[in-house]
A = this chain, B = another copy of it.
């Protein structure tokens, strides 16, 4: 009885859609190849009818990808071309390794914001972070560590997304109104903005606000009861491109004597990025002194934890939202994301991840396979090759409006409502995350939220499922306690205290129990601390003239106690009915009386 294994519910953690399991079964089978190279699965089934749909979708996404990439390059405090350098490789890699047809991998607002503090005037740090994050994500994917993401609850992700949207939008307020600012952080940005209202430039403010209004309107236009629905839909989907074209045209047409009417992002370095390994050393931009790899690592510091984490989080969140009805292979997604980052870093990219906006556009444009990503990538490359001089005219206010409009729809208003209605208590981790992200930093705010929510789990482990009542059986006063589920050390003292208090409180009354029966049929597991507390409970009850019997305990739980102290074996009784149990207890009492009588008579 006492030599069995411990865990009743010994189901292994699911290896996120069976990856490890299937690998073990068939190391080199077709199925494994399909798993690690999903392109081998879908490409042979490709139909020519898919091609136009993939083309249109890739084109539509490209029209958003280019202005967003330029904008996010600026958000990351990098030369504008770096945004575009980050925006093409992800799509190409994802064709081969991705599992979800809709996802587009590239620079995002959150990634750009996270990278910004480490850039400090030198793109080398951004590129190194891209490479190292890629390596970390790739290894985590291979080790199936995506399961750790389960400790990030919906309230925490929702809170993080909301705080990120607010602080990113806040950071663009100055640009929207033509105020030059280097303030960062939620509070500082607002303080700076209101402290420099006098510097607002009329032209930029009008362009920015009108563009923002236009973007918000165009997003809704497809829902209006108008004719030409499908045309309207594509106009709505390519609204960012429309905004950019309008901005560039206005800037070009209103140019007077070589003076531009708006603040612009400045010239974009023309040409494709060179293929070269990521920089493992750099120079100090002010002193020109060489900074070694170690120096760069210590400079990026906590970014090596937060950027891979958020990259995975954002990408998996997008993948989950767009892979309805099939099991998401999170590990494979992480491998795809890791390789995307690694290869992208060879083209001077900053860290990239799955973009919610562009994935939604891809899906709405009717993409059929990941091939759409190649079209998007080609458009970005063509922009770099031929259109950089045109994009030199892109007003900052237009880019700010594009980012702010995207942030409007990043906030998951519906989910916040659902949290509020479902369980008020879950608003706490949500609010804690929001405030910590806004008033500390995004990365630490996320950690605060995760730790705060984990405290809920720990608190729960203090209170096992426990029920206790008094019973009377053939004139004997009994206390019957029922324990269920898994009982861990944090709950050990609770159980002991409850039972001892119960017996002590009734000690001098008529209902004083002389026997405590603990039902344990449904105990999943206990640990050493619980076992030791039960042992001391038995000793305490003995001093209170009260016996302790463990009735029908599950074998794993009883095993822990019996192995610990063989003398405690006698505490465990097994019987079908309660009557049988009482008979066993009565017989044993008689036996021990008889043996005492024999001893006394000798």
Residues of A within 8 A of B (CB): 6, 9, 11, 13-14, 16-18, 147, 150-151, 153-155, 320, 324-327, 415, 418-419, 421-423, 425-426, 453-454, 456-458, 460-463, 465-467, 484-486, 488-494, 497-498, 500-501, 504, 522, 524, 527-529, 531-532, 536, 539-540, 542-544, 560-561, 563-565
Contacts and interface: CB of A to CB of B under 8 A. Distances in A.
Q: Give the secondary structure class of A's interface.
A: helix
B493 A150 contact: yes
Given A154-B532, A324-B539, A497-B327, A460 B488 contact: yes
Contact of A155 (B326, B529, B540): B529
Contacts of A490: 150-151, 153, 457
Contact of A463 (B13, B458, B491): B13
B153 A527 contact: yes
A11 B522 CA distance: 19
Contact of A456 (B488, B500, B536, B544): B488
Between A325, A544, A565, the greatest number of chain B beta carbons within 10 A of the residue's beta carbon is seen for A325
A464 to B, nearest CB: 8
A418 B565 contact: yes
A497 B329 CA distance: 10
Count of chain copies: 2
A233 to B, nearest CB: 23
Given A418-B532, A529-B155, A9 B150 contact: no
21 contacts: A9-B463, A11-B463, A13-B463, A14-B498, A150-B489, A150-B493, A150-B494, A151-B490, A154-B529, A324-B543, A325-B539, A327-B501, A418-B528, A422-B528, A422-B560, A422-B561, A423-B527, A425-B527, A457-B488, A484-B484, A485-B485
A358 to B, nearest CB: 22
B324 A489 contact: no
A501 B528 CA distance: 35
A372 to B, nearest CB: 22
A423 B497 contact: no
Contacts of A489: 150-151, 153-154, 453
A325 B503 CA distance: 11
